[in-house]
Amino acid sequence: MTNFIDQEIADFSVNAYHDGDVTQVTKQDTLGKWGVYFFYPADFSFVCPTELGDLADHYADFQKANAEIYSVSEDSEFVHKAWAEATDTIAKVKYPMLADPAGKLARFFNVLDEDAGLAFRAVFIVNPEGKIQSYTINNMGIGRNAEEILRTLEAAQFVAEHGDRVCPANWHPGEDTIAPSLDLVGKI
């Protein structure tokens, strides 16, 4: 198993369906702001639209946090377009839906189920310099929560800005953090 923390993401160039158009997204395009790479198994499926819809409902919050969401599946940009046109839930998605039919991104992030040809449910939070700060990987049937992804993003941003402080469980912006010290050992 590979540890991805602080690993720089690979160069890439993929097609995407974004806000009604087919575009291209490269690694260079993603640098300079926080990135949330949101892998999911497949378009026209069951758990996936609930997750992408949840992210769409919270998209403005991610944008306020200087982050872009990149949903990624092994479908083509044309399948993403068809899904958005066929489904009200996906029609509200305004973030880029990356097309990875060759599995290059899923292989780099080590989330491709080669036998199924599908990506596991994974979230990678990447800093503006292109380095992975957090990741989770779930099996196919385990959906995720946009609010927890946002909370994790905000904690990663806080730690990046305040390296001498850490965020406890369930921390949200504005709440108390911890300044690690020998005096705290055994008192928390």
Element (H, E) at 25: strand 21-26
Average pLDDT over residues 60-86: 98
Percentage above 70 pLDDT, the chain: 99
Non-local (6+) Cβ contacts of 27 within 8 A are: 9, 10, 11, 12, 13, 130
Asked whether residue 1 carries a pLDDT value surpassing 80, the answer given is no
Average pLDDT over residues 53-57: 98
pLDDT in tens, 98-117: 999 999 999 999 999 999 99
Asked whether residue 184 carries a pLDDT value surpassing 80, the answer given is no
> Per the residue annotation, which of 48, 84, 112, 132 is the catalytic one?
48
Asked whether residue 132 carries a pLDDT value surpassing 80, the answer given is yes
Q: Please indicate, yes or no, if residue 169 is contained in any of the structural domains.
A: no
Q: Please indicate, yes or no, if residue 2 is contained in any of the structural domains.
A: no
Instruction: Report how far residue 26's alpha carbon sits from residue 86's, in angstroms, rounded to the nearest whole number.
Output: 27
Q: Please indicate, yes or no, if residue 150 is contained in any of the structural domains.
A: no
3-state secondary structure of 43: coil
Instruction: Report how far residue 9's alpha carbon sits from residue 46's, in angstroms, rounded to the nearest whole number.
Output: 29
The structure's pTM equals: 0.94
pLDDT in tens, 160-177: 999 888 888 999 999 888
Asked whether residue 178 carries a pLDDT value surpassing 90, the answer given is no
Q: Please indicate, yes or no, if residue 8 is contained in any of the structural domains.
A: no
What CATH number does residue 132 fall under?
Answer: 3.40.30.10
pLDDT in tens, 134-156: 999 999 999 999 999 999 999 99
Range of the domain at 117: 13-144
| Phi, psi (deg, nearest 5) at residue 138 | -115, 155
Q: Please indicate, yes or no, if residue 54 is contained in any of the structural domains.
A: yes
Question: Catalytic: 167?
Answer: no
Q: Please indicate, yes or no, if residue 149 is contained in any of the structural domains.
A: no
Task: Pick left, alpha or beta for residue 44 (phi over 0 → left; psi -120 to 50 → alpha; otherwise beta).
Answer: left
Q: Which amino acid is at 3?
A: N
pLDDT at 166: 86
Overall domain count for the chain: 1
Element (H, E) at 16: strand 13-18
Q: Please indicate, yes or no, if residue 61 is contained in any of the structural domains.
A: yes
Q: Please indicate, yes or no, if residue 100 is contained in any of the structural domains.
A: yes
